[in-house]
Chains A and B, each alone.
Chain A
């Protein structure tokens, strides 16, 4: 079963902040975040592992709440280049590293 992302879409002005949420009905081993621009391949942003949290990538960070089976992606001081569709992907166990992706969140940053 795929994770649920919210919101489905968000429009920001340059410099504003946004939060994208991802929740799963299953226990999670890890959560991945990707950004996809229209017509291009998804690009890996970061991974959050069970028992830890990993930040990285410009002004984008994320958290992982294992008990609630949720992750959130934080975009601060958004830039035009942040526009795209953000996908979370969840891994339910450490065998195979198979990702199940959420439905995506469309983010548009306007000048």
Chain B
């Protein structure tokens, strides 16, 4: 257990639907990062939150949004889902300049 908790582990949904992915960072970590990894591809940065505020944005689609709550857990909302959104979605947390700790990921399948 890395200390970063992601739920659900697997999600199967239909095109056009909306889903919410949840992440609880490691205790004490204020930063949360979301990454998308398509089949056998690299890790694409989506968005970062730090202590409740958006800190950086990557190539995140307008159909996607995220937020970080006062208890520091974060949610990634994906709407109007398309087949191409099928991927592994990772959440990671960190403290300042230290390495990231990744959660086990949510595997999203859009059918």
Report which A residues bind B (CB closer than 8 A): 2, 30, 32, 34, 40-47, 49, 87, 89, 91, 94, 96-104
Contact = CB atoms under 8 A, between A and B. Distances in A.
Contacts of B55: 96, 98
Nearest to B103: A41
A95 B102 CA distance: 20
B64 interface: no
A17 to B, nearest CB: 24
B90 A30 contact: no
A94 B105 CA distance: 26
Contacts of A97: 31, 94, 96-97
Interface of B: 2, 31, 33, 35, 42-45, 48, 50, 55-56, 58, 90, 94, 96-105
A71 to B, nearest CB: 14
B94 A102 contact: no
A97 B56 CA distance: 9
A41 B35 CA distance: 11
Given A47-B98, A96-B56, A101 B43 contact: yes
A101 B43 CA distance: 6
Contacts of A104: 42
A34 B50 CA distance: 22
A98 B99 contact: no
16 contacts: A42-B43, A42-B100, A42-B102, A43-B102, A44-B100, A87-B42, A89-B43, A89-B100, A91-B97, A98-B55, A99-B33, A99-B45, A101-B42, A101-B44, A102-B42, A103-B42
Given A41-B2, A42-B90, A49-B97, A98 B45 contact: yes
Nearest to A104: B42
Contacts of B35: 101
A22 to B, nearest CB: 12
Nearest to A50: B97
Given A42-B102, A46-B99, A96-B55, A101 B48 contact: no
The 9 closest A-B pairs by CB, nearest first: A44-B99, A41-B102, A101-B43, A98-B56, A103-B42, A96-B55, A96-B56, A42-B102, A47-B99
